Amino acid sequence: MAKARLVFLESSEEELIHQQSLRCLAEIGILVKSEGVLRILEQYGAYVDSTTMIAKIPEAIVEKALASAPKKITLCARDPNHDLEIPVDGIPFSATNGLSPFVLDLETGETRKSTRADLASFTRLADALEPVDYQWTALTATDVPARTHGAHEIWVTLQNTSKHVQGVTVESALDARKQIELAALIAGGEKELKKRPLISIISCPIAPLTFEKGAIEAQAEFAKAGIPILSMSMSLTGQSSPVTLAGTIVNSNAENLASLVITQAASAGAPHIYTTESTPVDMKTATINYSAPELPLISAASGQMARRYELPCMVGNLGTSNSVPGLPSSFSEIAVGCLSTFAGNDLVAGMGSIDVAMACSMEQLVIDANFWEDFRVFMRRFTINRESCALEIMKEVGHGHSFIAHPHTVENFRKELHFWDKEKLGMQATLSTEMVPAARETARKLLREHEVAALDSDLIAQGDEILKFYEKESTSHGGGGRA
């Protein structure tokens, strides 16, 4: 099957990223702030320094973990019709944004702290939108005790959607067990939950190469319960990873491999998803830059590495950095998010996000869903075989004739072609004339000041003669007309 994809690394560069990642894990190692997880790693074959809490992971251990990790995963849902099998061969599955602490009130337009009730409403809206395939726990429940908000969010989200739920917060091993327990209630027990995981969990390393106590102990608990883990590296180019793209890719890849080792050391065969949301920081403000042009390139490289390891992945994202609902404010910013979804993704997320994921908006969720419904058609699969090449049909139609009324066209046009919904396209309007005066003045200035090196006068004369001859030739033959 043919499908559009973005490829960044040459095969030799992909191999270099792999080898440098292995060196990173073996020579630099990872900082694991949990004695219990360090013991698990030591038993698995890592070299552990209990004083520094550094675990060095030899290549053989990485290969062992890769061999035991499942190559296919089903993200199950309360309604089995919404089950998602990954990896996909075509359009990635998309989700809402996750864990924003603020919400744009639908009625008042006020931006305020989000609550359980807001999360319930947002989740129900996402459940109603067909382009939303699964749900992150989109909003932070700020009206509950801080240490319990992750479990609250899993529970509220599970109650308000029939789709798969992906948790974004775990505070500790205890928090993990509570979330497992809540999901097991719906699944029919922990054994049934392990067979049909209704939830999956994002577990973020702290770049560079650090795993916090609560989060990594929770990850081990989820692995034992058969809950899919997404090892989301958030390596920030120039801040928490080297300023070179290659350095960021190596850091992110090493963190993903280390996280995989931890998952498999905790429970061999536990489902694990290669994940990154790595991007440069804004060098002026030191804040995360989701509009950086390098983001889709990092995503593409990460997707290649995940495919190399035969791991399902989430390496691209959607959403806007605007503080108000709408599309990103420039075409180039739109292109960043769009291109990242071509990076070999199985999963993407971020729908409904505004203000660099600090807030969610229901209006934005609707806009994003409509946008994704149209944009995802670029990633659909196309059959390329002898039959679809349609040579026999070309013979039947013959030279210079139309295919429009041929039975082959009538039978296949709806399968092959996508037709825009004009009403939904209205939510994607980017037409503006505000920049025209400035663009006009720039053009005038450049025309006044810019000079192009002139050709030799003899060359110009020769060219002029060729053109004169061509004009005469065309006239004498009555040429120039179109057949």
| Per-residue pLDDT at 407 | 93
- Give the chain's domains with CATH numbers: 11-379 (3.20.20.480), 386-417 (no CATH), 436-476 (no CATH)
Q: Are 273 and 311 in contact (CB under 8 A)?
A: yes
pTM greater than the 0.75 cutoff:
yes
> pLDDT tens digits for the chain (483 residues)?
788 889 999 999 999 999 999 999 999 999 999 999 999 999 999 999 999 999 999 999 999 999 999 999 999 999 999 999 999 988 999 999 988 999 999 999 899 999 999 999 999 999 999 999 999 999 999 999 988 999 999 999 999 999 999 999 888 999 999 999 999 999 999 999 999 999 999 999 999 999 999 999 999 999 999 999 999 999 999 999 999 999 999 999 999 999 999 999 999 999 999 999 999 988 888 888 888 899 999 999 999 999 999 999 999 888 877 888 888 778 888 888 889 999 999 999 999 999 888 999 999 889 889 889 999 999 988 889 999 999 999 999 999 999 999 999 999 988 888 888 887 777 777 766 776 788 788 888 888 998 878 878 998 888 888 877 877 776 665 544 433
| Per-residue pLDDT at 408 | 93
3-state secondary structure the chain: CECCCCCCCCHHHHHHHHHHHHHHHHHHCEEECCHHHHHHHHHHCCEEECCCCEEECCHHHHHHHHHHCCCCEEECCCCHHHCEEECCCCCCEEEECCCECEEECCCCCCEEECCHHHHHHHHHHHHHCCCCCEEECCECCCCCCHHHHHHHHHHHHHHCCCCCEEECCCCCHHHHHHHHHHHHHHHCCHHHHHHCCCEEEECCCECCCEECHHHHHHHHHHHHCCCCEEEEECCEECCCECCCHHHHHHHHHHHHHHHHHHHHHHCCCCCEEEEECCEEECCCCCCECCCCCCHHHHHHHHHHHHHHCCCCEECEECCCCCCCCCCCCCHHHHHHHHHHCCCCCCEEEEECEECCCCEEEHHHHHHHHHHHHHHHHHHCCECCCHHHHCHHHHHHHCCCCCCCCCHHHHHHHHHHCCCCCHHHHHHHCCCCCCCHHHHHHHHHHHHHHCCCCCCCHHHHHHHHHHHHHHHHHHHHCCCCCCC
Tokens matching residue 243: 């300023």
CB count, 10 Å around CB of 146?
Answer: 10
Q: Which amino acid is at 403?
A: F
